[in-house]
Chain A
């Protein structure tokens, strides 16, 4: 799995068909709002926005999980805290008060997003520094433990809505654009998603990414050639937390609502499932996984109340009969042509 990760995502292997596929994908994503408008289905724009936001979160998780081999079951922590950064800053902006008596509130996207990235990164630094002392199942469970602590913390914070969460009356502002408009917000999310995927592509192909892949394959050997795995893993974990925090901030803007639901362990599970479904340790896998899960959920829910009874077997079949998730399936069908 991780060997593929190097060969087909490294910047040194630009195959023509892969570049074409990427171009086609990008064109589709840009044309999507206009297409669905023309088809008279404007409700699909928010759906696509949700896919993009989850894709950012899943791709960030994938850096830790797929490329770094750190199976985090606690990424909801970064997702939710990113959302709460937007919520709390907006609350302080409306009340014209100072957060902790120090930080003024704001509703500028250019400030709230970097703030969410910063807070997500700092939190990941703290959680990662402690959690990376363990490995294997213990790592899975300790990341879950930290996320659950934050979940219960925010449930008990009545000042920020407790269990009920808090609403954000207006989306954050950006250059006087009408972010309330679904298509405008879609393009904001698309631009950010493109930047995130570009950054991840650069990271995975860099020396740092190579070291990370090496640690994933054999930590002891990397240590033997003079690389301290802990620092690299921690750095990857922090970057992963930053990206997930960013996605959380976008989600809070999208929903105009944050609640402890965003911190719940099922959210971590959902993100993990998107990654596994799409293809662990592949660059575009999380996008496919997020799209598949969000769209399946939406379609099946509108179809039948018992949608889980259909989603469950589909997931089961994907695990049992596709190696490497949807991304692996696509490339074996000849769409990617760069794997194996």
Chain B
């Protein structure tokens, strides 16, 4: 029972990480209509900047600021110099351009930091576990990630639904042309939204540092899952991104944890492990296919 609870918490933790990435991606797609394959690179930039700052200064605060700032600045520069020229273009041109950006980012990071993954230690103050229930201990750091993710979700909810900027964002997601026609400086809004999305991606990256290895290509691994989340949730919908991320995080983690064990009861060990791992990896894609076949616009479509 405690094992199940632990895996559910792991799923939740993975889910909120996915949410941080998916929130930015879904806003950028919903408002600007841009397919940004390089969103994963911003995650990588955040992770590397924080890891580098932590190694240089040893200060957690500086590492956090460095990660967030680097991701936001790189993101806004990307918007200003490349994506701004592509808003009116075909999705395919955007795909090619942002793919080119992935190559550039990956190779620049390789040049700067080498091919070896960086390992980041958990900040000492957060190192350790606490006993949530009798027999269920859980690392504090992962609990903090969950807390930060949920806090960001709440903050975004308030920002989108309670502020003037949020009103423009919502309006932009549903009637882009109308917002422009009403005299809103849409270019400023675009850059701001892009910066916010990049900031969240950087936040996910810097928090992922101590859990996963910080390495080139980490962005692409998670990018595909983020797209799955965005599409399941409904493109352009923050609420969809939230529930989609939790769903994908939980399904993926739980399948990975328990499927090989279940299969082992009907097959031999090594085959069960291989097949179980394969089927578990297929799980979220099956989930996405089923969701799209039943609700082609995702669970919470933004443009209804």
Contact = CB atoms under 8 A, between A and B. Distances in A.
Interface of A: 1, 65, 71, 130, 133-135, 137-138, 140-142, 144-146, 148-149, 152-153, 155-158, 162, 265-266, 269, 272-273, 276-277, 280, 306, 308-309, 311-316, 318-320
A217 to B, nearest CB: 14
13 contacts: A134-B293, A137-B235, A138-B235, A145-B292, A152-B281, A306-B107, A306-B110, A311-B100, A312-B103, A312-B107, A315-B96, A319-B86, A320-B85
Interface residues of B, number: 48
A156 B106 contact: no
Given A134-B296, A320-B85, A320-B97, A312 B104 contact: yes
A118 B224 CA distance: 29
Of residues B82, B102, B106, B282, which shows the largest number of chain A Cβ atoms within 10 Å of its Cβ? B282
Contact of A152 (B86, B271, B282, B296): B282
Closest 10 pairs between A and B when the two form their complex, measured CB to CB: A156-B278, A312-B103, A315-B100, A312-B104, A145-B285, A309-B107, A308-B107, A152-B281, A308-B103, A316-B100
A71 B96 CA distance: 13
A24 to B, nearest CB: 28
Given A148-B285, A276-B96, A313-B104, A142 B278 contact: no
A312 B282 CA distance: 31
B298 interface: yes
A158 B104 CA distance: 36
A273 B99 contact: yes
A249 B130 CA distance: 55
A145 B231 CA distance: 11
B296 A319 contact: no
Contacts of A137: 29, 35, 91, 231, 235
B39 to A, nearest CB: 14
Contacts of A135: 296
A319 B106 CA distance: 19
B111 A276 contact: no
Given A144-B224, A148-B282, A313-B100, A138 B274 contact: no
Contact of B228 (A1, A145, A157): A145
Contact of B93 (A153, A276, A308): A276
Contacts of B297: 138
B255 to A, nearest CB: 11
B83 to A, nearest CB: 11
Interface in B208-248: 220, 224, 227-228, 231, 235
Contacts of B106: 308
Contacts of B104: 308-309, 312-313, 316
Contact of A311 (B103, B108, B110, B292): B103
A230 to B, nearest CB: 13
B289 interface: yes
B99 A269 contact: yes
Interface string B283-303: 001101100110011100000
Contacts of A265: 224
Contacts of A272: 92, 95-96
B153 to A, nearest CB: 23
A65 B102 CA distance: 22
B77 to A, nearest CB: 14
B152 interface: no
Given A309-B107, A315-B96, A319-B86, A156 B228 contact: no
A138 B278 contact: no
Contacts of A315: 96-97, 99-100, 103
A164 to B, nearest CB: 12
Nearest to A270: B99
Given A152-B281, A156-B274, A312 B101 contact: yes
Nearest to A1: B90
B288 A309 contact: no
A155 B285 CA distance: 15
Contacts of B86: 319-320
B160 interface: no
B103 A309 contact: yes
Given A71-B91, A312-B103, 18 more contacts: A130-B293, A137-B91, A138-B235, A138-B296, A141-B231, A149-B286, A155-B281, A156-B274, A272-B92, A312-B104, A313-B100, A314-B100, A315-B99, A316-B104, A318-B96, A319-B86, A319-B100, A320-B82
Contacts of A146: 285, 289
Contacts of B107: 306, 308-309, 312
A145 B92 contact: no
Given A276-B96, A306-B110, A141 B288 contact: yes
A18 B103 CA distance: 35
B274 A158 contact: yes
A134 B270 CA distance: 38
A322 to B, nearest CB: 10
B275 interface: yes
Contacts of A276: 92-93, 95-96
A148 B283 CA distance: 10
Contact of B100 (A1, A65, A162, A312): A312
Contacts of A158: 270-271, 274
A135 B220 CA distance: 24
A71 B282 CA distance: 22
B279 interface: yes
Contacts of B65: none
Contacts of A269: 99
A264 B272 CA distance: 23
A266 B99 CA distance: 10
Residue among B93, B220, B279, B289 with max Cβ neighbours from chain A (10 Å): B289
A64 B127 CA distance: 53
